[in-house]
Amino acid sequence: MNNLKNHHRKSIRLLGYDYSQAGLYFITLCTHDRLPLFGSIIERAMIFSEVGKIAQEEWQKTKTIRSHIVLHEFVIMPNHFHAIVETVGAHCMRPDSPDIEQTKQGRVQRAPTLGDVVRGYKSAVTKRVRNLNGLPDFKIWQRNYYEHIIRNETAYLKIAEYIQTNPQRWLEDTYYV
């Protein structure tokens, strides 16, 4: 018998916040069981594994796939990924809104939310890694992700510096294993 209480996860998102609105977000995605799938830090620099190269390529593709986002600083670490993502005018759903994109098939499509961006990225990386390894059930990602709403320039600059210097501080990193 399924017990729904055992399967309900508490949301870590800010209650009442509209994640489809334009804004800047600091996100962290972790690998499943925090395994160092993306490579290793050698002499304070990230050296990518094949999986790490895929993770980097798919993040770069994100900006071309989703026109309503801007990618800022990011870093791929051995077992996690940090990025600043900007959503641009994504909350309006009216067909005549500039926030709505007409697809080639003529369908109206809303601009992506932060969750859409993360979900699409994780899915793309997972598909490519599973094909590379021939392991259809191989788990890449921890469930969910961490996010922080960036509310001002001071916070943005502090987070950007944290991302840029993350490989140099690997031994002190929260995610170091």
Tell me the average pLDDT across 76-95.
78
The reported pLDDT for the residue numbered 104 is 56
What pTM, to 2 d.p., does this model score? Answer: 0.80
The reported pLDDT for the residue numbered 96 is 44
**Is it the case that residue 22 has pLDDT exceeding 90?**
no
Domain ranges of the chain: 17-167
Q: How is domain 17-167 classified at the CATH fold level?
A: Alpha-Beta Plaits (3.30.70)
Q: Kindly report each contact of residues 100-107 with a partner whose C-beta sits within 8 Å and lies 24 or more positions away, as own/partner.
A: 101/67, 101/68
Distance CA 114, CA 130 (A): 24
Q: Identify the residue with better confidence: 163 or 65.
A: 163
